[in-house]
Amino acid sequence: MSAAPPGVELRPLRWWDLDAVLGAERELFGPTAWSAESFWAELAQPNRRYLAAVRGEDLLGYGGVMVNGADADVQTLAVAPAGQRQGVGAALLQALAGIAADLGATVLLLEVAAGNAAALRLYERSGFERIALRRRYYPDGGDAVIMRRRL
């Protein structure tokens, strides 16, 4: 896995992390937050891998990737306020890219809210390029930017 910031451990996301994940989802994504059922379904899929970034017992962030042959897709990536601007998101993203490559993917895709400037900067610094715009993609009417990185 990728180097995490000092004091932060990247490890597989486990079912017992879901209470903290759901709290972060509600705080970060509001009405578009994933449900517990969505996370359970994701964790049950054999072609998905999810990671948690933790400091001690505190969940700082989490992310997941789906791999289908040569293509992989970042399913979600989130960093709680306590972990922001510390390299947690970059470490999670790099670790997910490494997992995807290890499983045979050559391309990593993701979608991000067009208004999420911090996430767009992170992805661009991490080698992603904008390839498309999906208008009114999110339930709140927001647009999604589709991004790609070759692995």
Q: What is the rounded CA–CA span in Å between residue 19 and residue 27?
A: 13
Question: Is 137 designated active site?
Answer: no
Q: Catalytic residue at 62?
A: no
Residues 6+ apart with CB under 8 A from 39: 18, 21, 22
Q: Which of 25, 50, 62, 111 is the catalytic position?
A: 111
End-to-end, the C-alpha distance of the chain in Å comes to 15
Catalytic residue among 57, 123, 124, 129: 123
Token readout for 137 is: 């993609």
Active site residues: 111, 123
